[in-house]
Amino acid sequence: MSVPLRAIQLNEANAFLKKYPEVLYVDLLIADMNGVVRGKRIERTSLHKVYEKGINLPASLFALDINGSTVESTGLGLDIGDSDRICYPIPNTLCIEPWQKRPTAQLLMTMHELEGQPFFADPREVLRQVVSKFDDMGLTICAAFELEFYLIDQDNVNGRPQSPRSPVSGKRPMSTQVYLIDDLDEYVDCLQDILEGAKEQGIPADAIVKESAPAQFEVNLHHVNDPIKACDYAVLLKRLVKNIAYDHEMDTTFMAKPYPGQAGNGLHVHISILDKEGNNIFASEDPEQNAALRHAIGGVLETLPAQMAFLCPNVNSYRRFGAQFYVPNSPSWGIDNRTVAVRVPTGSADSVRIEHRVAGADANPYLLMASVLAGIHHGLTNEIEPGPPVEGNSYEQNEQSLPNNLRDALRELDDSEVMAKYIDPLYIDVFVACKESELAEFENSISDLEYNWYLHTV
């Protein structure tokens, strides 16, 4: 970290501590491969030292499985002595944690080698490498996420979730009631605290809507001209939602498919691209006639099978797919069509953009964004045509062709020459090793259903 940058950041810390003299602690946060936030808690008196020298965390932080255990086949654990790397603050991420009883702040970090260069296995760095290819073209990415989640009861039934009782009516919601305002009113205090907490933390959450299942909601983030910052917001929003819900004696889940027979949780991303003059290169009165838009979509669709492991990184991710739940299962696109993988929303010519609709809320936002942008760049630079847009129900016109399980998705990623041009093959190796380890553990377990079916029948 350069001396001028360090001085600027120290000024940031000084201004914050002066503004919030009551703050006692600061949580130093870094998102792992699964998007799970990890880190350290320090006293306020140590904050300056963090800005001056950073903090040490082991490189194996990015080789953790979903349970927080190091996957040794990544080579980032015992093979390197479980050695440390250094983490530095990300500018403009120091803010209050509004849910804490003891005044506490948080600061987002990113990992570097001891010599100073970014650490290859930090998902934020994976995304930065892809974004740099657009920087070289003089293009700026504008992005925003839509994040779905369920409010759930803190008490599960036999280990399975259930909807929380409404603080207003005392009843558990049972029906879908998409976009129903009354359902927002049932949980208004919690949902309003989420929006107010986001505002206090500088997270641009501008709306909450009722989604397609009992106690399921979606938070819309406003677009920003920095895809890495958009991912920072998504990661921090999940943490905010979880903790605000705890304050209201509820829990949350971003699991892709928590309930059989109900809609899963998605993570849609909207992307447009600006030229050097700030003009949207996708802008058009007739989107089909915009070559840049077509080529970007063509690249995304061509690489979509290889993206799936990043978009749907868990065994449970693939249970979310189904026509009745508006989760696309083929590389398809359309204009204002929610049955396709890549939707072009209608509106003014200047607001034409890509909405990528495949990923689940369990995806790591940095890896999701990196894979989608890799597809866009591939399409732009190779002028890939996407074919005609789908009109009507895509599920009736296109057979399922995307990987429908984690093992096939990992094979597609591992074999993709295109993705290896954008995402460091060393990182792909680490990611695949972690997910194959989780998959092996899952496949070695025996489910209750297997006992019910086979214990006394075969």
107-125 per-position pLDDT tens digit: 999 999 999 999 999 999 9
CA distances from 291 to 269, 294, 310, 382, 386 (A): 21, 5, 27, 12, 10
pLDDT at 242 over 80: yes
Find residue 28's DSSP bridge partners: 40, 107
pLDDT at 3 over 50: no
* Topology classification of domain 5-120: Ubiquitin-like (UB roll) (3.10.20)
pLDDT in tens, 126-140: 999 999 999 999 999
pLDDT at 173 over 90: no
**What's the pLDDT score for residue 231?**
98
pLDDT at 4 over 60: no
Judged by average pLDDT, the poorest of 147-151, 175-179, 322-326 is 175-179
**Greater pLDDT, 158 or 250:** 250
Average pLDDT of the chain, as a whole number: 94
CA distances from 332 to 35, 193, 402 (A): 27, 38, 10
**What's the pLDDT score for residue 289?**
94
pLDDT at 21 over 70: yes
**What's the pLDDT score for residue 184?**
74
Alpha-carbon distance of 147 to 316, in angstroms, equals 17
Q: Which CATH class is domain 131-423?
A: alpha beta
Residues of the chain with CATH 3.10.20.70: 5-120
pTM for this prediction:
0.95
Alpha-carbon distance of 341 to 322, in angstroms, equals 12
When pLDDT is cut at 50, 70 and 90, the band that residue 457 belongs to is very high
The amino acid present at 172, given as its one-letter code, is R
Tokens 């299962």, residue located: 329
**What's the pLDDT score for residue 159?**
84
pLDDT at 178 over 60: no
Range 113-119, long-range pairs (CB < 8 A, 24+ positions): 113/85, 113/86, 114/84, 114/85, 114/86, 116/1, 119/59, 119/62, 119/85
**What's the pLDDT score for residue 169?**
82
pLDDT in tens, 427-436: 999 999 999 9
When pLDDT is cut at 50, 70 and 90, the band that residue 277 belongs to is very high
User: How far is C-alpha 131 from the chain's CA centre?
Assistant: 16
Q: SS3 of 327, please?
A: strand
pLDDT in tens, 199-217: 999 999 988 988 778 899 9
- CB-CB contact of 296 with 287 (8 Å): no
Residues of the chain with CATH 3.30.590.10: 131-423
Alpha-carbon distance of 225 to 204, in angstroms, equals 12
β-strand pairing of 104-112 with 25-31: parallel
**Greater pLDDT, 183 or 255:** 255
Angle at alpha carbon of residue 343, lines to 203 and 346, rounded to 5°: 85
pLDDT in tens, 85-100: 999 999 999 999 999 9
pLDDT at 330 over 90: yes
**What's the pLDDT score for residue 175?**
64
The torsion angles phi and psi of 71, rounded to 5 degrees, stand at: -95, 105
CA within 13 Å, CB half, 44 = 19
| DSSP E strand stretches across 77-139 | 84-89, 95-96, 104-112
pLDDT at 171 over 70: yes
